[in-house]
């Protein structure tokens, strides 16, 4: 299957940080389809030849999802407009539909809306109504209510980062990354969870957060503050019921190790089945197949809808970039 993956990855990170959901799902498509999953503008942060000096400036120091792909894989990124015209690709994915709608007119001139995926990984629960007017399925990370044509999606981690054997535990709770303590190396960060029974986590910009999954993939149980308040349509792939049950062991004077191991294994097995990048890419494909089967007739949005969506996307992109840049400059000066 040939996938065209479009995103705004060439914007310098000082303006826009990496997009977790966009890059996680792309990792899944690349794992499934190899060079047939084409990032038309090479997403340098995803490849293992990403230089160390850049990794240090990346959000989350580039841990877990980034710097993972084979840089020697030959990807054909040439002659895009001709390929779109000839329907070379089987599926078009906008990895950052709120920030990037490149080639929008060319895409919808040649592809029906049920062959176009719109990913929205923003922290905010609201959905731009102009995206809905495009008529393609929208996959929304922080989904709050049922909307026709909008489907929940969650964060995920690379299969190769999973710790398959549960290590011996030497402490009850892992140290949490803070402003005063930042892990310099990825393996040091993982080792902290692997030797701990529990790792503290909570809602950040949105309910979904990469840390929840990093804790589990390192054979540790998340102690998730406020887990009972997660909206029903948010983090639908996350093993919230199992985690909530395991959290009841946190304050036990004598930790029930047999019960802990049983629950930890179930939580890890759930992650391996539903929350790795390949599984999330397959989920997107499954939804798209069902959507195409249920659609009475494939359609294409009108020129006005395309123009309005593209303009709104550009405005949001530049506003987000400006605000993000100001915040980063402020932090570098005063913090």
pLDDT for 313 beyond 50: no
What confidence score (pLDDT) does residue 86 get?
Answer: 97
* Residue given tokens 């359609």 in the structure block: 299
Q: How far apart are CA 73 and CA 35, in angstroms?
A: 7
Higher model confidence: residue 155 or residue 51? 155
Higher model confidence: residue 158 or residue 303? 158
Confidence at 306, pLDDT banded by 50, 70, 90 = very low
Higher model confidence: residue 119 or residue 43? 119
Model-level pTM? 0.88
What confidence score (pLDDT) does residue 315 get?
Answer: 47
Which residues have a Cβ under 8 Å from the Cβ of 43 and sit 6 or more positions away?
7, 9, 23, 26
Q: What are phi and psi of 26, to 5 degrees?
A: -60, -40
Q: How far apart are CA 242 and CA 246, in angstroms?
A: 6
- The CA-atom distances, in angstroms, between 249 and each of 201, 225, 270 are 16, 14, 19
Lowest pLDDT segment from 130-139, 211-220, 310-319: 310-319
């Amino acid at each position: 299957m040939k996938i065209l993956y479009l995103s705004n990855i060439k914007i310098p990170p000082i303006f826009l940080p990496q997009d977790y959901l966009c890059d996680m799902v792309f990792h899944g498509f690349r794992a499934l389809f190899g060079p047939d999953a084409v990032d038309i503008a090479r997403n340098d942060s995803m490849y293992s030849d990403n230089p160390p000096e850049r990794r240090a400036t990346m959000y989350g120091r580039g841990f877990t999802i980034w710097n993972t792909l084979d840089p020697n894989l030959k990807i054909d990124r040439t002659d895009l407009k001709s390929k779109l015209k000839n329907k070379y690709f089987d599926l078009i994915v906008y990895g950052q539909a709120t920030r990037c709608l490149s080639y929008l007119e060319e895409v919808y001139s040649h592809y029906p809306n049920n062959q176009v995926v719109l990913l929205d990984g923003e922290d905010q629960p609201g959905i731009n109504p102009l995206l809905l007017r495009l008529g393609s399925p929208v996959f929304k990370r922080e989904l709050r209510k049922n909307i026709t044509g909008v489907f929940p999606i969650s964060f995920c981690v690379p299969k190769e980062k999973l710790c398959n054997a549960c290590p011996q535990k030497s402490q009850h709770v892992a140290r949490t990354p803070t402003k005063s303590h930042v892990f310099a190396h990825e393996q040091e960060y993982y080792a902290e969870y692997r030797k701990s029974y529990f790792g503290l986590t909570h809602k950040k910009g949105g309910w979904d957060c990469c840390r929840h999954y990093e804790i589990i993939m390192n054979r540790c149980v998340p102690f998730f503050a406020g887990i009972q308040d997660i909206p029903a349509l948010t983090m639908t792939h996350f093993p919230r019921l199992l985690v909530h049950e395991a959290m009841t062991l946190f304050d036990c004077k004598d930790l029930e190790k047999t019960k802990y191991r049983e629950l930890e294994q179930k939580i890890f097995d759930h992650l391996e089945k539903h929350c790795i990048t390949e599984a999330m890419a397959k989920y997107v494909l499954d939804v798209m197949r069902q959507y195409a089967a249920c659609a009475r007739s494939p359609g294409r949005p009108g020129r006005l809808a395309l123009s309005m969506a593209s303009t709104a996307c550009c405005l949001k992109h530049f506003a987000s970039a400006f605000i993000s840049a100001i915040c980063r400059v402020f932090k570098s000066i005063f913090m």
